[in-house]
Amino acid sequence: MNVLACIKRVPNTGAKIVLTDDEQRIDTTNLGFTMSPHEECAIEEAVQQTEAHGGSAHVLTLGPEEATEQLRTGLAMQADEATLLEAGDEEWGPRATASAIANGVRELGDDGAEFDLLLFGNESADAANYQVGTRVAAELDLPCVTGIKSLDVEDGTAIARREVSGGEEVYEIALPAVITVKEGINEPRYASMRAKMQARRQDVDRREPTADTGAGTYEKVRLEAPETAESEAEILGDGTDAVANVVDVLESEVEVI
Amino acid sequence: MTLAFVEREGSDPTEETLEMLTLARELADGDGESLDVVAFAGGSRLSVDELGAYGVDEVYHVVHDRLDGYAPEAWGESVAQLASDVDPSAVVAPGTDRGHEVLAHVGATLDVPMAANCIGIDVVEDGAYELRRNRWGGSLIEHARLEAGTTLLTPAEHEFPIEKAESTTDPSESEFTPSLEDTQFRVQVERVERADEEGIPLGEARVVIGGGRGVGGPDAYDQLEELADLLGGTVGASRAAVNEGWRPHDDQIGQTGAKISPDIYIPCGISGAVQHMVGCKGAETILAINTDPEAAIIQKADYAVIGDLHEIVPELNDTIREA
Ligand SMILES: Cc1cc2nc3c(=O)[nH]c(=O)nc-3n(C[C@H](O)[C@H](O)[C@H](O)COP(=O)(O)OP(=O)(O)OC[C@H]3O[C@@H](n4cnc5c(N)ncnc54)[C@H](O)[C@@H]3O)c2cc1C
Ligand SMILES: Cc1cc2nc3c(=O)[nH]c(=O)nc-3n(C[C@H](O)[C@H](O)[C@H](O)COP(=O)(O)OP(=O)(O)OC[C@H]3O[C@@H](n4cnc5c(N)ncnc54)[C@H](O)[C@@H]3O)c2cc1C
């Protein structure tokens, strides 16, 4: 069984986000990069499923050359192969991104890499439009279920579970299929130093993305870092001396005692 | 016309649906058009009684002999077919897992853009929409311009208050039967398994005690559990604590965990990263316990105690127990 995990490079923001002067991007001068925890879980799931059922685990991203860093994180987590759809500086909306990924998957298929399972994050860490996986599924005419927190594959069928209030919905889907996952589906491994070194030497397959555009337009105008009210907490005291004041807040203000 | 996708519990709209109707009504009022809703029948159906208070003009019940349970693709296809029939300028869905999933299918079927997590929308000239939406769970706002025959939108969770309309309407009802194919039932809920929940779920708790990396290990959570018991609450955790394996992921509060809205949240040994704070924006009061007076959580909390949680929490438990 071959499994694909799609991931997105995003800045690793700290406690406060700073924008560039043109308000178009996050100022990343002093920031590292990462991916959504949901996507780390997608990679781990791809690796675990291929460890259990054979086949190969593949990671893919649409992004700049620098996004090979995130692909190598995937390789260090024991994915077998990596593909970069190398984009220029232009902004890709969710629909164009999905179209490029679907075309990339078709190309990989033509080159002999057919996938039984395509994994995505439920939503990306930054833009979070909740739709790339679903749109890729529609383009490739594959069944799709989102927000999955438990997955088993038996005889070509995926048994997927989604948390709902008070329990779990259970889906049974014939493969090939698209599944978007949430953090908690597994515990992503920490890559060893050795695995990271090896990943650095592995080849990344690079391709030119192609995307079709649909009807309508969605344009980002600018970003805004909302003013966080510069409020300072009322300090109730240091150490155990503060306990009486805490009890007071719990009793008279919040009324939970 | 604005078409709103309604999720129901029995015959009543869910809370998230009522929040979404506040946004949908703003859009409908904005361009002086009607507010229609679509809900799926099966077993029971949406009761229209309450909806007049929210300014709904027309209710479409989707009726189909194969649609008794949830089937994401079939539901999306049904809403897309209804939209093609009635030609709304916008289709709005609640900002929930299901709302996002159904609307993403509508977007894929109609091949139009969709904007999730909206916090404010203006209709401008030519029927284009200028909108503001949350990024990074709300620590960043994106201003965008959306132009499409049909605009697909979801509100950010808990951004819009539940509000009744200024004047009550008397909604009319009709049935809509989509034409669906086998392939659209490739994915459907086979069964729902009830969890035997212990304690109060994080999302519903009135009091939440949070434990982060500062807790130092799994055993010290006993003190937090005790405090939660004394206050009738539940214990949650930061991602750092979950990654350490001290708590299960179900306990995680934040962008990729649970969103909480208690009367009081007491984060202990949590630094206050943006991805954590977006999970507790709904908290009425935040009281932080942290050794570091410079920690970001101190700026974001209402009250703070500076000190070691391992000394403060047991002392607090003793005092409450004796009171
Ligand atoms: C050159 C370039 C510049 C970009 N600039 C920006 C920018 O300034 N701001 C911004 O937010 N985005 C930017 N993007 C990313 C792109 O716009 C988004 O990935 C796209 O809009 C998807 O939307 P979303 O993140 O809301 O997707 P969602 O629907 O929330 O994503 C769901 C899942 O889809 C998958 N996915 C999403 N994007 C990608 C991807 N690119 N490659 C592989 N898998 C993916 C992931 O598994 C993700 O968890 C840029 C991309 C490129 C190539
Ligand atoms: C895309 C993305 C999504 C994320 N999603 C989430 C999410 O859903 N939830 C989440 O929590 N995080 C999330 N994170 C991670 C987040 O950025 C932080 O890394 C994390 O919240 C830090 O956890 P922490 O505060 O427990 O640990 P730290 O940042 O290490 O803070 C520990 C704190 O404990 C204090 N402390 C230490 N000892 C004591 C003591 N004895 N008594 C009192 N205080 C003490 C320290 O002063 C410090 O402030 C996400 C990150 C990314 C990139």
| Cβ A194 vs Cβ A160: under 8 Å | no
| Overall average pLDDT of the A195-204 stretch | 97
Q: How far is B141 from chain A (nearest CA, A)?
A: 5
Reduced to 3 states (helix: H, G, I; strand: E, B; else coil), residue A254 is coil
Alpha carbon nearest to ligand 2 atom 8, residue: B254
Strand A150-154, strand A205-207: pairing: unpaired
Interface predicted TM-score (ipTM): 0.94
**Which among B195, B250, B263 has the least Cβ separation from residue A256?**
B263
pLDDT tens, residue by residue, B170-189 = 999 999 999 999 999 999 99
A176 lines ligand 1 (CB under 6 A): no
Strand B140-147, strand B129-135: pairing: antiparallel
The pLDDT confidence band at residue A230, using thresholds 50, 70 and 90, is low
- Domain positions in chain A: 3-207
The pLDDT confidence band at residue B147, using thresholds 50, 70 and 90, is very high
Residue A129 is predicted with a pLDDT of 96
Token duo for residue A225: 């870092």
Rounded CA separation A242/A235 (Å):
9
| Overall average pLDDT of the A65-74 stretch | 97
Element housing B286 (H / E)? strand B285-290
Cα-atom radius of gyration of chain B, to the nearest Å? 23
- Domain positions in chain B: 2-185, 202-322
Output the DSSP codes for A34-56.
E--HHHHHHHHHHHHHHHHH-S-
Alpha carbon nearest to ligand 2 atom 51, residue: B275
Asked if the model's pLDDT at residue A229 lies above 70, the reply is no
Token duo for residue B7: 């999720």
Alpha carbon nearest to ligand 1 atom 33, residue: A121
Rounded CA separation A160/A188 (Å):
18
Rounded CA separation B195/B233 (Å):
19
CATH superfamily for A3-207 is HUPs (3.40.50.620)
Residues with CB under 6 A from ligand 2: A 12, 34, 36-37, 125; B 212-214, 238-241, 252-257, 269-271, 273, 275-276, 279, 289-292, 295, 308-310
Cα-atom radius of gyration of chain A, to the nearest Å? 22
| Overall average pLDDT of the A212-238 stretch | 86
CA-based nearest residue in chain B for residue A174: B186
The pLDDT confidence band at residue A242, using thresholds 50, 70 and 90, is very high
Rounded CA separation A95/B44 (Å):
36
For A201, residues 6+ apart whose C-beta sits below 8 A from its C-beta are none
The pLDDT confidence band at residue B32, using thresholds 50, 70 and 90, is confident
Chain A CB contacts of B114 under 8 Å are 94, 129, 131
Strand A10-11, strand B234-237: pairing: unpaired
Least confident of A46-50, B51-55, B136-140, B211-215: B136-140
Rounded CA separation B13/B16 (Å):
8
CA of B307 to the centre of ligand 1 (A): 41
Q: Which of B233, B234, B255, B251 is nearest to B242 (CA)?
A: B251
pLDDT tens, residue by residue, B225-246 = 999 999 999 999 999 999 999 9
Which residues of B, range 51-80, sit inside 8 Å of A by Cβ? 70, 72-73
Are A244 and B319 in contact (CB < 8 Å)? yes
The CATH code of domain B2-185 reads 3.40.50.620
Q: What percent of chain B has pLDDT over 70?
A: 100
Q: Which CATH class is domain B202-322?
A: alpha beta
| Dihedral of the alpha carbons of B277, B281, B282, B283, in degrees to the nearest 10 | 60
Residue B227 is predicted with a pLDDT of 98
Are B101 and A146 in contact (CB < 8 Å)? yes
Are A38 and B256 in contact (CB < 8 Å)? yes
Asked if the model's pLDDT at residue B218 lies above 70, the reply is yes
| Overall average pLDDT of the A108-114 stretch | 96
The backbone torsions φ and ψ at residue A241, rounded to the nearest 5 degrees and listed phi first, read: -60, -20
The pLDDT confidence band at residue A212, using thresholds 50, 70 and 90, is confident
Residue A202 is predicted with a pLDDT of 96
Token duo for residue B211: 């434990």
The pLDDT confidence band at residue B197, using thresholds 50, 70 and 90, is low
Tell me if B2-185 shares its fold with B202-322: yes
